[in-house]
Structure 1
Amino acid sequence: MRRKILPYNKHLVGRARQLRKTMTKGEIILWQHLRKKQILGVSFLRQRPIDQFIVDFYCKDWMLAIEIDGSSHDSLAAQERDAYRQAKLEALGVSFLRFSEYDAQNHPEAIAETIKTWLLTHPQKKVLPSQGS
């Protein structure tokens, strides 16, 4: 048995590192609730490259991406890009939870509770049969 490894563009690693240094206020606040396995002992990573994209937060064991959408996501063009990006990653098996920047700043406990509920009601995707079995 082994963990499913998702493809990623190695050229995005530096960009992801930069995004970790310049997180939005909402991302910083939510990260305080996600870091150090505070929700059900589950590990989350921040600004994680997957395929040709970078997601705000990612849980490998559940293949769950969490996105914090600020005002830059309000335009029709941005919403179309988000939908395309999400569809591409969902095709790889990644699930999504999206929250607003406002809620991340003002209601992080409610977001943490929503994430906890999601984890409790969805199966873990951690281990897949090894190839050839």
Structure 2
Amino acid sequence: MKKLIFGLLSVLLLAIAPAKAVPTDEITELINRQQQAWNQGNIDAYMLGYWHDPKLRFVSKGEFKYGWDKMLAAYKRSYPDRAAMGQLKLELKDVQMLSNYSALVAGRWVLLRQKDSPSGVFTLLLEKKDDHWVITHDHSS
């Protein structure tokens, strides 16, 4: 009888316990927040998705760039106003968990602006640092 009561209590506690966040959901939410920040013209908020560290790596146009501060400065130079920023659309194709603390994300991007619509693909390495997911490596082309 004790086993039955314990079993029923365990099931009940599991049923009412708050669900833990699924890493892929957390990662998707991070990407969605970045897209929203970009589309609001807020590069500083967009950069919150990146690891704020000198070892942050960004690869684009055949070049390797390192550092959160350098990346922020480059974004602000390349996108000085809302017209240059346009509207960003990100489409996640795959979120592959490499471990409990790292994930590989692949997708497509398009920047809708009045004069053009550049587009491409991206691969991101995300790592869980200090209990938060951040992009530690961004390869966009």
In the superposition, the TM-score normalised over structure 2's length comes to 0.26
- Bigger helix share: 1
With CA pairs under 8 Å and 6+ residues apart, which has the higher RCO, 1 or 2? Answer: 1
- Bigger strand share: 2
In the superposition, the TM-score normalised over structure 1's length comes to 0.27
